[in-house]
Chain A
Amino acid sequence: MEQKKITDLSQEKVIEIKELDKSFGELKVLSSADLNLIKGENLVVLGKSGTGKSVLIKIIIGLLKPDKGMVNVLGNTVDQITYKELLALRLRVGFSFQSSALYDSMTVKQNLEFPLVRNQRSLTKAETAKRVDEMLDAVGLLKTLHQMPSELSGGQRKRIGIARTLILQPEIMLYDEPSAGLDPITCMEINKLINDVQERFHTSAIIITHDLTCAKEVGNRFAMLTDGRFEKQGTFEEVFNSGNKQAQPFYDYNFIQ
């Protein structure tokens, strides 16, 4: 498979993480992790379950606080800005949950409207409705407009979750295991969606996954999280074809099986 190329060549860092530490009590999750996200790229973060991938992006969005180290997102040090500034930053960074995290008590339409009406108060009802329709159309689920989340399939929920995030037109997208637990076809649809988003909205993205097929399809660059840090970063070949002991089991699992 062809390695994907980035179109934006400015090499500007939109996320910069240096020597990041995070523990929960005795459990050391991240220790001295370094990672950059370059403008316009899709960076794939790989790692075994429980290595702290979700913790990493939750720190980026300010849901968790780092113990030590620097996390800079679009020029803001996330653990040092006020709550108001953090909310303003979150307008520019989208977060798609592993669990989709749709609002159970609201219809699909209300789910998408929720962030919109609260953050862009100047929009009229008609403009809001139009944005919701456009976004649902972009993820191919316009027909679910009036359905409740409980009536949707896992893949549909994922896509609605992504649509709800995209409706605020973020500059950065953080995808937490977008294709985990989905069948191969739905998984491919999600991959296509991630690539569409990159092209259409010129977003930079961190995509967490443990599926290498998915990783290869969406990633421009790859980083492997082992023992709380990123030892290996680079192209797919650099991470996997270098006799890397940590990466090998991953590769074997995905391609030999």
Chain B
Amino acid sequence: MNFTWFLSVYNVYRFIARFFREAFLPPYEFKELMRQCYEIGYRSALLISTTGFITGLVFTKQSRPSLSEFGATSWLPSLVGIALIRTLAPLLTGLIAAGKVGSSIGAELGSMNVTEQIDAMEVSATNPFKYLVVTRVLAATITMPILTFYTAMIGMLGSLLNVATNEGTSASAFFQSSLESITFLDVTASTVKAILFGFTIGIVGCYQGYNSSKGTEGVGKAANASVVIAMFLIFVEEVICVQFFSFFLT
């Protein structure tokens, strides 16, 4: 841990501080924010749907043998529901968005930096931080909880398919027992995690892109670092959140 390491930590801190300062001050780039939200949802929808469905289905299938040893396969819907809401959905959505959304934010801002488009905004008396960074970070933060609950829903559909074919459970019975076991705290914890993951993906991608080194290889590096660092932080945050919320759950 040398001097440059501290310097980069300080720079990240300043970047985040600037985000909070500029996010609340007018003028607001509302139209661009909406466009970014749409882009993020649109970009990750297909991948999230597929992964969510398969995860729900496979998780159910793999859990059945252990439960059937105790003759408790009727617990499958609630087991899957809890697993999806508490961990699988936030984590899956976070990791996929880090790959899809984080890399594209890093690459986009990186190439805008390399081709002097960010400087061009500066000199035309526009604050590029507001237009580019604030909108993207906010969009990621807002969209992640929505995507996370969407993933959980799709995951339950995958699980339902498996349970319906094996146990012949009806859809209404499945959802009744799975939703019954999910508490308000589960939903809160999941939302908090999703917001945190979204914020992380947005900030990391924007920081890497905004500060990418000049030259074409800077763009690739920014995109790559956006994904790697965001994924790492998401796991760290997951562990911290689990500790924090299990304190309340018990």
- List the interface of chain A (C-beta within 8 A of B): 58, 61-63, 83, 87-88, 90-91, 93-95, 97, 99, 101-104, 114-115, 118-119, 121, 164-165, 168
The reply to whether A164 and B124 form a contact with Cβ atoms under 8 Å apart is: yes
Identify which of residues 102-152 in chain B touch chain A, using a CB-to-CB cut-off of 8 Å.
111-112, 115-117, 119-127
Known: A94-B123, A114-B124. 14 other contacts (CB 8 A): A95-B123, A95-B124, A97-B116, A99-B116, A101-B120, A102-B120, A103-B120, A104-B111, A104-B112, A114-B126, A119-B124, A164-B124, A165-B123, A165-B124
Q: Is B71 an interface residue (CB 8 A)?
A: no
Residues of B within 8 A of A (CB): 27, 111-112, 115-117, 119-127
Count how many pairs of residues, one from A and one from B, have CB atoms less than 8 Å apart in the complex.
59
Complex: chain B residue closest to A64, CB-CB:
B119
5 inter-chain pairs at a CB distance below 8 angstroms, sorted by A residue, are A88-B125, A91-B125, A95-B123, A101-B120, A118-B125
Check B115 against A168 for contact (C-beta < 8 Å).
Answer: no
CA distance A140 to B121 in the complex (A): 24
* Nearest CB of B to A154, in Å: 14
Q: A155 CB to closest chain B CB, in angstroms?
A: 18
Cα distance A137–B166 when bound, in Å? Answer: 71
A87 to B119, CA, bound (A): 12
A104 with B117: CB separation less than 8 A: yes
CB neighbours (8 Å) of B119 from chain A are 58, 63, 97, 101
Q: Which residue of A lies closest to B122 (CB)?
A: A63
A87 in contact with B116 (CB, 8 Å): no
Q: Across the two chains, which residue of chain B brings its CB closest to A174?
A: B123
A243→B160 CA distance, assembly (Å): 89
Please indicate the chain A residues that have their CB under 8 angstroms from the CB of B124 in the complex: 90, 95, 114-115, 119, 164-165, 168
Tell me if A99 and B115 are in contact (CB < 8 A).
yes
Contact A87 B115 (CB under 8 A): no
Closest chain B CB from A205 CB (angstroms):
15
Q: Collect the chain A residues with CB atoms within 8 Å of residue B122's CB.
A: 61-63, 90
Complex CA–CA separation, A119 to B123 (angstroms): 12
| Distance in angstroms between the alpha carbons of A58 and B112 in the assembled complex | 17
A61 to B125, CA, bound (A): 10
